[in-house]
Structure 1
Amino acid sequence: MGGCTGSKMANQVGDTDQKAASKQEFEKVVDPDLEEEEEDNDDDVMSDSAFNHKASTKMRGSVSAEAYGEWNKKEAFEVPVYPKSEDQESRLKETLSKSFMFRALDAKEMKQVIGAMEEVHAKEGERMINIGDIGEFLFVIESGALECRKEINGKDTLLKTVEEGDVFGELAVLYNTVRAANVDAKTDCVLWKLDRKSFNAIVKESAQKKRERYEGFLAKVPLLKTVDSYERSHICEGLVAEAFKEGEVIIQEGDTGDKFYIVEDGQCKAVKEGMEDKALDYHAGDFFGELTLLKDQVRAATVTAVKDSTLLMLDRRAFKRLFGGSQQLSEAFAEQENKYLQASSA
């Protein structure tokens, strides 16, 4: 069925509760393409030097805190909550969903992150960051623009301008390093800042738990049983969970395909126009969408959620990077296609 063939794979697996042993591991957890992204580390330059004021009144939500190994023991921590309008929350959610560090958060975790962001203001020309400051906050720009600058060969050089909708300062927070440049407000700005402790408590721990769960789940998928744990680990790096409601269309016949799916839980159904009596059901562990990506063809059937379902998704880039060079997996995909074609022609 072209881009909608799949393998019948059962057995779900529960979460494990192991913690990463080193902070370097998190780079692999949050974004498999981090090393490939064309990001200039010098734009990660914000610190708390200009934002030292405390919140006057804030609610608090409990969460267990930093959990990233023996080098940094876990401690109790309460994530702050700063009130926001529905419009502000909506804009922050849209922006954060595009950032590699936040795109894997579930709805509850995203709400926690947004709640923990504090509004700050910068005047035009105001020096916000001094080079060498420790990275204690990451920032989202609601309005305005800032310039990231540093001295290169004795000359003050503009490295990058960050504007409305940009997230910046995240790398120094992630790696607990100093800022690489000075930052000045090019215009009056409204910013939202997230402190490092809240980031660690919500984002790092969440990403690690998801990685462990995905590794256990993929180990039970027959297609990947012969793949060693190292390769499965790399596959986990690219997975993003997507939720679909009962009756929601996941793949539309005739569309250009850019996603590969594995069913984590729920049930889906593939139907090709004119072959409604030969629908193909997908359950936990089944996959679909691979042939479209392998052969660069349009979707050959429509896949719909039969009931509320959670799917693990790889986009085209991650799929090609992880599966494109594997002869073993390519043969397995081809075998599944042949089996379906034989069944549909019977």
Structure 2
Amino acid sequence: METQLEDLRQQLDKQCLINQELQRQNKDLEQRLQEKEKLLQELQGQYHELDGPSQRPSNEPEFRKSRAAVISSEPIHETLDIAGTGVKKTVSETSLIVKAIQKNDFLSRLDDEQIAMMVDLLVAFDYSPKDEVIKEGVEGDSMYIVADGELSVTQAGRNLRTLNSGDVFGELAILYNCKRTATVKAMTNVRLWCMERQTYRTIITNKSKKKREQLMGFLKTSRTLKDLNDAQLSKIIDSMDEVKYQDKDVIVREGSEGNTFYIILKGEVLVTKNVNGHQKQIRRMGKGDHFGEQALIREVLRTATCTADGPVTCFSIDKEVFEETIPIEHLELFDDSKVLQETKAPEKSGPSSTLKFKDLLPVLYQEGRHQGDPVTLGVGGFGRVELMTTLVHGKYYAMKRVSKKHIVAKRQEEHMLFEKKILKSIQCDFIVRLHAAFKDTRYIYMVMEFCVGGEIWTKLKEVGRFDEPVAMFCTACVVEAYAYLHKKNIMYRDLKPENLMLDVRGYVKLVDFGFAKEMVRGEKTYSFVGTPEYMAPEIIKNQGHDFAVDFWSLGVLIFELLAGSPPFSSSEPQKIYAKILDGVFKYPPYLSEAAKSIISKLCRPRPGQRLGNTKNGIKDIRHHRWFSSMNWHKLRMCQLDAPTVRLIRKGPCYINFDRFPYDLAKAEEEFSGWDRNF
């Protein structure tokens, strides 16, 4: 009996070992299957790229495969006098132009006054058959509307389409300086209506500034708001919505609960009261008048009825939004004395660098087809970033090298000087450090901290999309960088995965301050700048923008980290802008409710209503439930274990970066002297 029991025990042990071995083999097979699936997905992706658009479910975004394009701010004279430069047009010409604008994806979003100004300022040009209007690859500064005739559109010699009367083309050039993507030639005698970028920008910017000044003046006449400063009033304007009413529409009704404040922009409003069962007219209000201000600060019932007398346009703000914008208890957003103290506080001086240009040596690739070439970490429109080391200390540095000739050609001198100034003064664990800056006759050089983990963009491309803990950690690092910059009155304006780097511990650092700008609170800037997919609506509309654009781009970043692609994307920039202005998000099914909530609150169309830009500032972002598991104090102290560490590959110091061939060409020399103080 004992012998039989022993045999059974041995058989059982043997069976357990076999089961363990089978489980191990199953795991190996599962892992290999996952690897093959990933490879199959990559191959399918490559096939679809060749064959046409992929047939993915409409609610699941495609992973972004290429780096985002960058649009740099172009200095434009905002005081251009366009009065008296209008061109008279017949009724039929005006009708054709208006119809063309209204059916264009981008231009259709202009208001009636802006369209009228465009119609007035378009200039006519005539072309003969075979004349070239636009040449592929050449930078352009004008858009066109076909008045009469036919034109052909070709790309790399291939016919794309024919343009006829009422078609619009080249409209991207009125937004920013870009190269033409196709050639347009006259096939018959052609007449075109043309507008240059400078004229368009002047129309839009002047309109936005005028409207803002007007609203500021109206708000200053309100008894309730009279003690607020310009920065606070500016925040209120940013939170207000434009609403239109038709003739006889009741805007507020006597006796109903009031929770909205109105300013009349256009039209007239009749104010009536109920006297013995009849409506008695009390007064008539017009442009600049406002009503309902008491509803912003206390529970009140409307004391009169306000009715539109003809079409009326108002700017309005609800009590709930107002309370988020201005702390009602003392109606004061900023303590001026504290702001002044902060401004005067001595800066922590950065480590004084003893680094000399002659001590820097390029790091060379040790293997592969680029073996022996200097390591290039990144290539952009404004230069290259190379990996450098020193003989003495053996430390690694990322050196940004930019052609001075290119900087002058693109009128970016001020931006480069400002980027160096910002980076020199920054002491923040979530922003890359500048160790030294040099120049010669061809280039300027900025020697930066080397982040061994590489770009978040590269990691995102490798894995497709991040799980929520990784995305949340990356975003939290950006929030801390923003908090530091905004406190110093610096807006960043170029957030995207390409500008986020991982250090050796997996912490995320913000790089590339070429688009950063110092701003006084309450002021606006009107430059068209940034990365199309990440641009806030107010930049596209030229309405003037401020720190709120950084919160919009934070929402877009969270979406891209979780979904693998930004919410608004297209191969054609004007379609991206149209999608942004429509503001419709299609969330993939796997996004959590908390993730959808923070994205939608950061990407509110009205800048004054965005999370991070209301009365509690950036604290509201930290307190959002998506960050419920984040220990912000430990993050600031760099005491958290970063979930991003697993994304960092081990190997040579450059293993986490894409490889680029070495550029032997030298930039031309440049002697204008703009970099005298660099």
Quickly name the TM-score band, shorter chain normalised. 0.3 to 0.5
Structure 1-normalised TM-score? 0.43
Structure 2-normalised TM-score? 0.25
Structure ranking higher in strand proportion = 1
Structure ranking higher in helix proportion = 2
Q: Max radius of gyration: which structure?
A: 2
Kindly indicate whether structure 1 or structure 2 has the higher relative contact order, using CA contacts under 8 Å at least 6 residues apart: 1
